[in-house]
Amino acid sequence: MSADAKLDLYKLHKSDYTAKRAPAIVDVAEARYLAIDGRGEPGGPDFQSGIGALYGVAFTVKMTRKMAGRGDYAVCKLEAQWWHDGGDDLSRVPKSEWRWRMMIRTPDFVEPPELERAARKLVEKNKGEAVSRVWLETIAEGRCVQVLHVGPYDREHETIEAMRAFAEERGLAFHGLHHEIYLSDPRRVEPSRLKTILRRPVR
């Protein structure tokens, strides 16, 4: 990569973001994310303001660096972890009790003070208070089952069962949080064609 080429983590870590419709075992290295936590159903008001805040901070941090001549990088796709207080089977609880962490993968050189500055600017510019909840999170998932789910989000449980069966056949069990990577934009793509990578750490 030449010195002035734009850093694209999505392309650089292509193997983390490659999945087929049949489950496979992958080894995922430690990765850094901008993240925001919340509770409640996907598409609800808290969820929407959370995504807005996450993108706002991601974009503002990137452009502040670029404006200052400190290099450029591509903003990665949206990812999320989902769970509930009593465990990981979301089908057992109402959506209002779902907990989520929305994440955008971010280069290691981004530092917490940059987030604070970005959040201050966004609050000044009336972009909502949720930006102050965005923080930097490092996640080490290690060995995972990964699969490409094609179709509506509310049919994911079928694919997750296939992942679980695949893991069990190999003497492995789920642990850690369910993780998804949104390859499609649900505002543009019809539900039956949505592509989402599902990932689950196993041991």
Partner 1 sequence: MRTTTLDDYKRRILRVMVHVQNHLEDPLDLERLAGVAAFSPYHFHRVWKGMVGEPLDAYVRRLRLERAATRLKTTDRPILDLALEAGYTTHEAFTRAFRAGFGRSPSEFRRDHAGERASGSDPGVPGFEPKAPEVPSLEVEIRDLETLRVAFSRHVGPYDGCGATWDRLLTWAGSEGLVGQDTRFIGMCHDDPEITPAGRVRYDACITIDRDVVPAGEFGVQTVAGGPHARTSHFGPYGELARTYVRLVGQWAPRSGRELRPLPCLEMYLNSPESTEPEDLVTDVFLPLEP
Residues that bind partner 1 in the complex, under the rule CB under 8 A: 10, 51-52, 55-56, 59-60, 62-64, 66-68, 74-75, 77, 118, 121-122, 124-128, 185, 187-188
Smallest distance from partner 1 to CB 44, Å:
15
Smallest distance from partner 1 to CB 188, Å:
6
Cα distance between the two ends of the chain: 35
b/e per residue 52-79 (b: at least 16 CB within 10 A): bbbbbbbebbbeebeeeeeeebebbbbb
- Which of residues 91 and 126 has its CB atom nearest to partner 1 in the complex? 126
Contact criterion met (CB below 8 Å) for 34 and 75: no
- Which of residues 79 and 141 has its CB atom nearest to partner 1 in the complex? 79
Smallest distance from partner 1 to CB 159, Å:
23
**CA dihedral sign, ordered 100, 105, 107, 108:** positive
- Which of residues 36 and 202 has its CB atom nearest to partner 1 in the complex? 36
- Which of residues 90 and 131 has its CB atom nearest to partner 1 in the complex? 131
Q: How far apart are CA 155 and CA 147, in angstroms?
A: 14
